[in-house]
Amino acid sequence: MRSLLWIGLSGAILLTGCTVGPKYARPAVATPPTYQEEPPQSFQEAGVWKPAQPADQDLRGKWWEIFGDSELNTLEEQVTVSNQNLKAAEARFRQARALVKFNRAAEFPTISIGPSAQYVKESNNTPAFPTTVDRNGSGDFILPLDISYEVDLWGRIRRTVAASREEAQASAADVTTASLSLHAELAVDYFELRSADTQEQILDNTVKAYTDAYQLTKTRFEGGASPRSDVAQAKTQLDDARVQDTDVTVQRAAYEHAIAVLMGKPPAEFSLAAIPLDLKPPLIPASVPSELLQRRPDIAATERRVAEANQQIGIARAAYYPTLGIGAGAGFESTHLSNLLSAPNALWAIGPQLTETIFDAGRRRATSQGAWANFDALTATYRQTTLTAFQEVEDNLAALRILEHEAQQQRDATASANEWLEVSTNRYTGGVDNYLQVIIAQTTDLTNQRYEADILRRRMDASVLLVKALGGGWNVSELPKESSLR
């Protein structure tokens, strides 16, 4: 009867327990209504730069497919399954999820059992015991069952569980952030490699053209139509182009090795055939700045850690209040194993224990102050992460807008340089100009071709970075629900 009374009492205390500490509210951040930078003209004409709708699927999941490159798609898939940094992030999420289960166990009683058997032979010379009496000793068999339970009066356990759940959610967002960064890194490396293939193709063609020019100067020199200096200039120009052609392969090899490692492969086991970059930057759907807070996993991870820090403040506050524990024990004890489990040998005990710290030399105050400081630091980090996200979107919008215009200017410049080279070569062949004019035209033409290829590379890189800045189509609703973290 008493046990039922105690159980009822502890249940009532548990149900009426309160939670001390501040209630969480997401920190406010300065959010502009629109981005300062206008999207590229191609985006505006396609009508893709608008508040994103829930049905927008262009950047969902495998966002790299918007570039329309099957080779890139294949490489990105291997990052998903084989990248070691991504595996490490996923393992940390599993670890955080396990911690939720560990902390949640405190919501339930702890039950332990410790059966024992012993025989004690006491000394005949025990003080105050007649030495004439023989003491043969005694045996004792015990089968105890102990129950201990902390009543969560002030919400310390509940806040601990909530904090671990919020950390697990943050770890899940970390996995997405790592995945987004790694996939974006591979895409950038891939376009850098393909751009190096383009540069190599340009230089291969240039070496061929300069070889023909060198043969032309030799023929004219041997025919007495040109001085020997023209041959030397043509040879110098040809040798310089060969050096540049060779140098490009150094960069290409580095990007190829980086791609291999991102896919979880040794560089020696991976190679890509040379294919010049021949793509256009894709049209990228976007959203207004306020929606960016819901679409960036790094922002979501930081916000969840702010919520976790708020729980830690409550946990620190609960330490100022008494702790109520319920202890219970039951079992059997007998000097004979044969009748150990009989009713007369039963034993039990139950009772509460209230514990309160009277003096701790400021330890609890320091813990509370530290919790508040951590909350303030994470709040500032959250706001800074948000500002950085806005900056990244603005930077890449500006890059795409300016580079789109610059690409058209560069195409015109390349066409003009090519025409100049053709005219200069014809005039030299006809004996009107000296070879210096051809050299200048060749250098200008090569420079403009390489600039044009480089602008395309920068546009592709900016497209990848804009997708990354927008969160790759991710949404905060994809975080694991608290109800699933058990």
User: Do the beta carbons of residue 301 and residue 177 sit within 8 Å?
Assistant: yes
Alpha-carbon distance 67 to 464, whole Å? 9
Question: Considering the domain boundaries, does residue 329 fall inside one?
Answer: no
Question: Considering the domain boundaries, does residue 444 fall inside one?
Answer: yes
Alpha-carbon distance 319 to 154, whole Å? 9
Question: Considering the domain boundaries, does residue 293 fall inside one?
Answer: yes
SS3 labels along the chain:
CHHHHHHHHHHHHHHCCCCCCCCCCCCCCCCCCCCCCCCCHHHHHHCCCCCCCCCCCCCCCCHHHHHCCHHHHHHHHHHHHHCHHHHHHHHHHHHHHHHHHHHHHHHCCEEEECCEEEEECCCCCCCCCCCCCCCCCEEEEEEEEEEEEEECCCCHHHHHHHHHHHHHHHHHHHHHHHHHHHHHHHHHHHHHHHHHHHHHHHHHHHHHHHHHHHHHHHHHHHCCCCCHHHHHHHHHHHHHHHHHHHHHHHHHHHHHHHHHHHCCCCHHHCCCCCCCCCCCCCCCCCCCHHHHHHHCHHHHHHHHHHHHHHHHHHHHHHCCCCEEEEEEEEEEEECCCCCCCCHHHEEEEEEEEEECCCCCCCHHHHHHHHHHHHHHHHHHHHHHHHHHHHHHHHHHHHHHHHHHHHHHHHHHHHHHHHHHHHHHHHHHHCCCCCHHHHHHHHHHHHHHHHHHHHHHHHHHHHHHHHHHHCCCCCCHHHCCCHHHCC
Question: Considering the domain boundaries, does residue 238 fall inside one?
Answer: yes
Under 8 Å CB-to-CB from 326, ≥6 apart: which residues?
A: 6, 10, 109, 147, 148, 149, 150, 151, 350, 351, 352, 353
Tokens of residue 345, six digits: 């040998």
CA distances from 11 to 3, 6, 108, 323 (A): 12, 8, 12, 15
The predicted pLDDT at position 132 comes to 57
Alpha-carbon distance 187 to 393, whole Å? 18
Alpha-carbon distance 124 to 144, whole Å? 31
The predicted pLDDT at position 122 comes to 63
Question: Considering the domain boundaries, does residue 149 fall inside one?
Answer: no
Alpha-carbon distance 216 to 231, whole Å? 9
Q: What residues make up the domain containing 207? A: 22-108+155-321+363-484
Question: Considering the domain boundaries, does residue 138 fall inside one?
Answer: no
Which CATH number characterizes residue 187's domain? 1.20.1600.10
User: Angle 288-293-297 (CA atoms, 0-180°, nearest 5)?
Assistant: 125
Question: Considering the domain boundaries, does residue 339 fall inside one?
Answer: no
Residue type, 411: R
For residues 243, 244, 250, 252, the Cα torsion angle rounded to the nearest 10 degrees is -140
Residue type, 472: G
Alpha-carbon distance 103 to 108, whole Å? 10
The predicted pLDDT at position 4 comes to 47
Cut 0.95: pTM above it: no
The predicted pLDDT at position 347 comes to 82
pLDDT tens, residue order, the chain (486 aa): 444 445 555 554 544 468 899 999 999 998 988 888 877 877 776 666 665 454 444 566 799 999 999 999 999 999 999 999 999 999 999 999 999 999 999 999 998 888 877 766 666 655 655 555 555 556 677 778 888 999 999 999 999 999 999 999 999 999 999 999 999 999 999 999 999 999 999 999 999 999 999 999 999 898 888 899 999 999 999 999 999 999 999 999 999 999 999 999 999 999 999 999 999 999 888 778 888 899 999 999 999 999 999 999 999 999 999 999 988 888 888 777 777 778 787 888 888 888 999 999 999 999 999 999 999 999 999 999 999 999 999 999 999 999 999 999 999 999 999 999 999 999 998 888 899 999 999 999 999 999 999 999 999 999 999 999 999 989 898 999 888 887
Question: Count of domains in the chain?
Answer: 1
Question: Considering the domain boundaries, does residue 421 fall inside one?
Answer: yes
Other Cβ atoms less than 10 A from the Cβ of 160: the count is 23
